[in-house]
Structure 1
Amino acid sequence: MSSGAATPMISVIIPTYNRSRLLRSTLTALADQHASTDVFEVVVADDGSTDDTRQTVEDFTDRLRLRYHFQEDLGFRAGAARNAGARLARGAILAFVDSGILPGPDFVTGHLAAHREPGPARAVVGYTYGFRPEHPTPGLEEILRTHTPEEVVRDYGAVPAFQDSRHSLFATARFYLARTALPWQLFWTCNCSVPAAEFWAVGGFDEDFRSWGAEDTELGFRLYRHGLSFEVSREGWAVDSPHPRRSDPDLSDNRSNMLTFLHKHPEPVLELLWAWYSKHLPQLEDTRDWHVRLELPAVRRAVNRARSLDVTAELAHLRDTLPPGTRVAVFGCGGELPAGFPPADLFDYDETLRQRLPTDPAHPTHHAIGIRTVLPDAAVDVVLITSRLTPLWRRWRTHILAEAHRIGRSVRGPLLEAAEPASDTAG
């Protein structure tokens, strides 16, 4: 199901599953683009729909250059569907939108313009009005029944309740994402684009994500580490049309997927991100208003404060008091081990010190604070929390202790007996 001989410049990929009504609205908006259909194509990637999705696609073959991929319904496989759509795509730029997203009339030209700007390859974040899953825009569904997306944006674009939920972050950085600490965290597949070559260079979407959430930011993370810059396109805007959301299961899925994300990229920034998504869990309840970008400066200051703190005496004391065969993990191991230290998983949030430790299968090292590690439950007999965690102890004590007790049968360390130490915080 395709048309047009000329190679399109950009391919718009839409994953979908039993949302033919929403898909129809998205295809209608794409058919109303100012850009010529010679410039772009649309690829619908169907994750096993049983409704009239295929017929909906066929209804637009005279208005759009369309390709259609169907995969068997084996559960939630949006990442696999997007990858399949990307394999069908012929454009040098891949744009992704969800069913129910209503691209503005300059969506295609806006995304293309962003990729044509001088400089390194970039990932483009399209501004998305009305995308507020936790706080839907009141009355938007009724307004969209009688107004085009362009009219709605013209009349309500300055209304905070209608603006992109990321708007305050964009505005703080003056819409220049190089000023933000975590630009990849703003890369959402409701409206985004990336060069096809760079998409495949990092492997596309990770298909291990089999429920809602995190697969887009995880791709953004890999694109960022690959060297791409990130840019907001206000010209490539879209509107998210209201539709039912499974909020509670979705949030639970997101927490689970953040743990998958962390296991794939174990390092402090992902520990913090996991903690943010898990802050309402009973054992980690945290009502403080914070986000990862607010915590990172404190972690970086802690690295500098603890850089010269030598904990070899603490490690030696543990070595001398453990019976043979004891399984050990150390939070805050530093850059040197005393002679004869037993086999242990070693964690430190200072990557420079971690890299000073010799490569040794008996002492695997991990770049981590200890907020959440990659070890399974009850993995070790003893967890030692050294004084290198002092600068972070007041802020993250509850999380670190919960994690130590999750992976270890017993927990030791000077911070457990000492009075609450001074620490650096983000607030």
Structure 2
Amino acid sequence: MQQTVMPSEILIADDGSGMSTRDVVKHFENISPVPVRHIWHEDNGFRLAAIRNKAIAASKGKYIIQIDGDLILQRNFIQDHMLFAREGCFVTGSRGIITELLTRKVLSGEITSLSPLMKGIRSSNNVVRIPIMSILYHTFGPTRAPRGCNMAFWRNDLIRVNGYDEDFKGWGFEDAELCIRLNNSEIHQRCMKFRGVAFHLHHNQAERSGCNSNEQRYKDSIRCHRTRCEKGLDRHLTPKISYEIGRGSAIVIGG
């Protein structure tokens, strides 16, 4: 709520949580200076691709910033994403990892702000904000593997490749496979480092039983040079939603 630039709207992509989450979202709706919408579907296993598609379909902004729900964003996060956006590109950012002990202190309110030098922050180079270094890194640095917790896209580019592939079941690889189809469609990755700072709260790992089959599907997309999935975003789009797209940005929280 302390961002230097606010999005036009916030969408919570909720993969089947219960009433306690709805109460939190309701409170957030009441205090947010921008519209908040809760996009929910019933709990039927890990269906991250589907709920993200539903939130993207419901969004009204031209540019979509996607984060996981377990991130704490530095106050310039959205501003940095908007400055880094370019037509014909999608953006992949990074995050610093917070230890379990520090996470408990943050959630209890004992600690109310985070910095790269704090004890308990791993991958601290990912939470240093130096805008000039961001330009140099993008120009001369290596391409990094995408992380779905911190990404941004033009909405029309997602429509072009049909969003997330809902044939991915369980945890893993749906983010990387989407990026393959974007790249195959000449929509290029821009790696953002030293900007768009986010801290990742500690939590137990998700159950990963579907990982092997998802990895194979990801590799198939590389091998076949896929540009579009069959079971994707178009399942949730309607003419009315497509017609009402505005000029602003939307932030999708989920995952």
**Selected match of 1:63 from 10, 18, 31:** 31
Quick check: 2:100–2:203 contact (8 Å CA) kept in 1?
A: no
Matched, 1:245 2:208: no
Quick one: higher RCO (CA 8 Å, sep 6+), 1 or 2?
2
**TM-score, scaled to structure 1:** 0.45
State the shift of 1:50 in Å. 2.3
Q: C-alpha separation between the residues in 1 aligned to 2:100 and 2:27?
A: 31
Post-superposition Cα deviations, 1:240-286, rounded to whole Å, max 9, x if no partner, equal 0111224xx42x53333111212333269xxxxxxxxxxxxxxxxxx
The question of whether the paired residues in 2 share the 8 Å contact of 1:143 and 1:152 is answered with: no
Q: Which amino acid aligns with 2:191?
A: E
Q: TM-score, normalised by structure 2?
A: 0.73
In the alignment, is residue 265 of structure 1 matched against residue 229 of structure 2?
Answer: no
Structure 2 unpaired stretches of 5+: 128-132, 226-255
In the alignment, is residue 40 of structure 1 matched against residue 2 of structure 2?
A: no
Larger radius of gyration: 1
CA distance in 1, matches of 2:183, 2:151: 14
Separation of aligned partners in 1, 2:141 and 2:196: 21
Q: Quick check: 1:175 aligned with 2:152?
A: no
Equivalenced residues, count: 214
In 1, the alpha carbon distance for the partners of 2:105 and 2:124 equals 12
Q: Identify if the C-alpha distance between structure 1 residues 102 and 177 changes in structure 2 by more than 3 Å, giving closer, same or farther.
A: farther
Question: Residue 244 of structure 2 aligns with which residue?
Answer: none
Structure 2 residue aligned with 1:188: 147
Partner residue of 2:230?
none
- Output the CA distance in 1 between the equivalents of 2:30 and 2:195: 26
Q: Which residue of 1 aligns with 2:49?
A: 79
Identify the match of residue 110 of structure 1 among 61, 80, 101. Answer: 80
On the 8 A contact 1:177/1:232 being kept in 2, the answer is no
Instruction: State the distance in 2 between where 1:94 and 1:242 align.
Output: 25
Q: How far apart, CA to CA, are the structure 1 residues paired with 2:176 and 2:12? A: 21
Q: Distance in 1 between matches of 2:75 and 2:2?
A: 6
1:33-88 residue CA offsets vs partner (Å, 9 max, x unmatched): 2224xx43110122222241112111012322201112122221110000000011
Contact 2:117 2:124 (C-alpha < 8 Å) held by counterparts: no
**2:103 corresponds to 1:146:** no
Q: Which residue is equivalent to 1:121?
A: 88
Give distance in 2, aligned partners of 1:194 and 1:179: 21
Deviation at 1:205, TM superposition (A): 0.6
Contact 1:115-1:121 within 8 A present in 2 as well: no
- Matches of 2:47 and 2:204, distance apart in 1: 19
The equivalent residue for 2:245 is: none
Match of residue 176, structure 2, among 202, 217, 225: 217
**Aligned AA for 2:218?**
F
> Gaps spanning 5+ residues in structure 1: where?
1-30, 131-135, 166-170, 269-427
The DSSP-based 3-state class of the residue aligned with 1:42 is strand
Q: CA RMSD in A?
A: 2.9
How far is the alpha carbon of 1:139 from its aligned partner? Answer: 3.7
2: CA distance, partners of 1:177 / 1:200: 28
**Residues in 2 aligned to 1:242 and 1:34: alpha-carbon distance in whole angstroms:** 26
The answer as to whether partners of 2:53 and 2:163 remain within 8 angstroms in 1 is yes
Which of 164, 182, 188 in structure 2 is aligned with 1:205?
164
For residues 138 and 46 of structure 1, the distance between their equivalents in structure 2, rounded to whole angstroms, comes to: 24
Other-structure match for 1:53: 21
SS of 2:210's equivalent in the other structure is: helix
Hey, what's the Cα distance between the residues in 1 that align with 2:182 and 2:140?
14
Which residue, out of 176, 195, 205, partners 1:235? 195
Q: Give the AA of the match of 1:223.
A: L
- State whether structure 2 residue 196 is matched by structure 1 residue 226: no
Q: Evaluate the alpha carbon distance shift between residue 127 and residue 265 of structure 1 in structure 2; reply closer, same or farther with a 3 A threshold.
A: closer
Q: Which runs of 4+ in 1 moved over 4 A?
A: none
User: Given the superposition, is the C-alpha separation of residues 260 and 177 from structure 1 closer, same or farther in structure 2, using an over 3 Å criterion?
Assistant: farther
Change (3 A) 1:77 1:147: same
Aligned-partner Cα distance in 1 for 2:194–2:4 = 16
User: Once the 2 structures are TM-superposed, how far is the Cα of residue 164 of structure 1 from its aligned partner?
Assistant: 4.1
Percent of counterpart pairs with the same letter?
24
Q: Which amino acid aligns with 1:195?
A: W
Q: Kindly provide the amino acid, as one letter, of the partner of residue 75 in structure 1.
A: G
Shift of 1:177: 7.1
| Aligned counterparts of 1:259 and 1:128: Cα–Cα separation in 2 | 26
Q: Secondary structure at the match of 1:44?
A: strand
Query: What's the CA shift for 1:197?
Result: 1.0
What is the deviation of 1:100? 1.1
Distance in structure 1 (CA, Å) of the matches to 2:141 and 2:126 = 19
Tell me how far 1:161 sits from its aligned partner. 4.5
